[in-house]
Amino acid sequence: MHVIVATDGSKQSLAAAKHLKSFADPAKITELSVVAVIRPLASVAFADDVTEGADKWPTGSFREAAESAVDTIATVFDGWGPKVSRRIRSGSAANEIIKAAKQYDAGLVVVASGGRGLSDSVLVGSTAARVQHYAPCPVLVVRPAPRKPRKR
Amino acid sequence: MADRTATVHPDIDDDGGLKRSITGVQLFFYTLGDVLGSGIYVLIGLVAAAVGGAFWIAFAAGVTVAAITGAAYAELVTKYPQAAGSSLYVQKAFGNKALTFLVTVSFLSASFAASGSLAAGFASYFSELFNGGGPPALLVSLVFVAVLVLINYIGITESVVMNMLMTFIELSGLIIVMGIAIYYVAQGNADFGTLTDISVSGNPALAVLAGVALSFFAMTGFENTANVAEETIDPYRAFPRSLIGGMIVAGIVYVLVSMAAALTVPVDQLAESDVALLEVVKQGILPFSTDLMETIFTIIALVAITNTTLVTLVTQPRILYGMAREDVVPGVFAKVHATRRSPWVGLLFSGLVVGGLLVTGTLVTEAGGNLDLVNRLALVTVVFLLAIYALVIVTCLKLRGRDEDERAFRASTPLLVVGLIGNLAILYYAIYDDPSSLWWCAGLLAVGVVLYLAEQLLGSKSEPRPGTASRTPEGDH
């Protein structure tokens, strides 16, 4: 089974990756793709909040921010078993995750849904909701724990 | 460790998926949409007032200088395809932090002033939907800015398709204006003498120069295309073509539209109108219902202004984000919302500054100050941008011979020199003509300086403590 772990650079997406590792059987996973989507027309095309020390940003490159976030998520799965691919895509986040799922013939998509606040219950269009609706395969939405993010 | 498969084509990943997403055509429409919305709907009356019937000459001259500047940007973008734009180029060329800061803050200020001018222009057109009545202009423009900030926060701006659609709508409005003029000319009613008429007393060259300074606002916005440099497919080919091509098309449209307006509407009527392009429709030249056409055209104008204002409002938090990441302004501006991934502090702040400009302008007007808010903020934008454009051309020439890449676009040197002189001449005239705009410039620069001081006095030296990336003491709310 090909599993896609999506990251938007948020801490919650790191928690989602760790959550997958906490219960899934690596022997059943043939390949794991860590996918980040850069949003060219957004104010901040990609922000990396998962890599320690990434608060310096000398190059001003959103692509580098995405690469470092993907690297950080990929290291979660170091030595776990499945082959890990790192992929950066560009466009609208939900669309690109769904396209990636179709393209790689994925058996599972793992996304984070960070929202606890008002904004996610009131405003429609969150990435996780759209992926759930339109993905061609099962979707694991990892929501934040009530207090602290779940750790292994 | 994971493998990173080598690929044959740099823009296509190992499974045929696109790594980058902006095509040359999309970039062309992004440029066109950015440029077309800013100004022509808002400013054409002011330019007509400055020059007279021949005001298309001002647009032609402004467009030429801007397109040459666009060539310098195309060269720099293809050499350094990163999102940071002018600040990055100036830093590369001069390596002087103070200068880079000044350029960045000037750019930010220009963007604030542009948003303010556009929002005020939006209010003018909006009141036309109520036949000149409706809610107070200040309220309309403030709500407009607030809604755009919210849209930005949610992230609707990210749709490339939406962007193209809005550009088509913008174009359609200008095509309506041209269509009316063609119909008018075909009926044999047009007096072509108007097109050579410089009716303003005094030196005609100075009158045109005054018009150029204002019309220049209509060409601004192209520098925002650097925003998507990193995500453009094959930027070496796409950028020069789409950026300069988009500007030339916009320029041709502007010259034709200004001729159309001059032919169909008496120049003094254009000059007095806040919604000059609507006057063309109001003439009732076409054999359809003028009321309906007016409403349609007003809505088109509103869409056009909205599209351009959205891009400026996307750019401001991005600049603040970059500066916060480099510890130049407080770290709160580097915070992105956990779920929405938008820099909400920067967005909110930008909205407040633009709102502040609108309120200040309205207060000054009400206190009896002789002030046209659209005009004033447009000039402030132009003053900042002309200085930046001139510096970018110098930067482009200075960076020759460094980081050369055979794939990069190379602008013609004599043309760049002409562009530099053009930018400086317009800048000189804009300041000479209206020195009081410098007070507004100073006020906006002060905002940047205050942010800088706040970071210096209150900001932590941001040691990379684990888990507290981009968090400063005041950033914890």
- Report the residue from A42, A43, A91 with minimal CB separation from B21: A91
Per CB-CB distance under 8 Å, the chain B contacts of A111 are none
> Has residue A149 been placed in a domain?
no
CB B70 within 8 A of CB B345: no
Give the dihedral of Cα atoms B179, B185, B186, B189; nearest 10 deg.
130
- Please give the C-alpha separations between residue A44 and each of A72, B20, B294, B325, B426, in angstroms, as whole numbers: 19, 16, 38, 12, 33
d(CA B427, CA B384): 9
**Pairing relationship of beta strands A83-90 and A2-7 according to DSSP bridges:** unpaired
Q: Do A90 and B2 touch (CB under 8 A)?
A: no
The domain defined by B24-458 folds into Amino acid/polyamine transporter I (1.20.1740)
Distance from CA of B36 to the nearest CA of A (A): 18
Q: Which domain holds residue A60?
A: 2-142
- Report the residue from B21, B157, B339 with minimal CB separation from A120: B339
Q: pLDDT-derived band of residue A123, with 50, 70 and 90 as boundaries?
A: low
**Structure token digits, residue B433:** 């003509």
Residue B463 touches chain A, beta carbons under 8 Å: no
How many domains are there within chain A?
1
Distance from CA of B96 to the nearest CA of A (A): 15
Residue A85 touches chain B, beta carbons under 8 Å: yes
Per CB-CB distance under 8 Å, the chain B contacts of A145 are none
Residue B158 touches chain A, beta carbons under 8 Å: yes
Residue B196 touches chain A, beta carbons under 8 Å: no
> Has residue A128 been placed in a domain?
yes
> Has residue A104 been placed in a domain?
yes
B360: exposed, middle or buried (C-beta count within 10 Å: 0-12, 13-18, 19+)? Answer: middle
> Hey, which residues 322-351 in chain B have their CB within 8 Å of chain A?
322, 325-326, 331, 334, 336-343, 346-347
Q: Do B470 and A55 touch (CB under 8 A)?
A: yes
Q: In one letter, which amino acid is B366?
A: E
- Can you tell me which residue has the tokens 């909006």? B126
Whether ipTM exceeds 0.90: no
> Has residue A59 been placed in a domain?
yes
Residue B83 touches chain A, beta carbons under 8 Å: yes
Q: pLDDT-derived band of residue A75, with 50, 70 and 90 as boundaries?
A: very high
> Has residue A150 been placed in a domain?
no
| Domain range annotation of chain B | 24-458
d(CA B382, CA B367): 25
> Has residue A152 been placed in a domain?
no
DSSP H or E segment with residue B64? helix B56-79
Which of B112, B119, B163 lies closest to B145, judged by CA?
B119
Of A40-49, A131-140, B72-81, B451-460, which gets the smallest average pLDDT?
B451-460
Chains A, B: CB contacts within 8 A come to: 155
Q: In one letter, which amino acid is B173?
A: G
Mean pLDDT of A26-45: 89
> pLDDT at position B2, please?
41
> Hey, which residues 201-240 in chain B have their CB within 8 Å of chain A?
227-228, 230-231
User: What is the full per-residue pLDDT of chain B (477 aa) written as tens digits?
Assistant: 344 444 344 454 554 445 788 888 888 988 888 888 767 887 888 888 888 888 888 889 988 999 999 999 899 888 887 766 788 888 888 888 889 889 889 999 999 999 999 999 899 889 888 877 778 889 999 999 999 998 888 776 667 777 788 889 888 888 988 988 898 888 887 777 777 777 666 677 778 888 888 888 888 888 888 878 888 888 888 888 999 999 999 999 989 998 998 888 888 888 888 788 888 888 877 777 778 888 888 898 899 888 888 888 888 888 888 888 877 888 888 888 777 788 888 999 999 999 999 998 888 888 876 677 888 888 899 899 999 999 999 999 998 888 777 788 888 889 999 999 999 998 988 888 788 889 889 999 998 888 888 888 876 554 444 433 343 333 333
CATH number at residue A11: 3.40.50.620
The DSSP-derived string for B104-136 is HHHHHHHHHHHHHHHHHHHHHHHHHTTTT-SS-
DSSP H or E segment with residue B142? helix B137-154
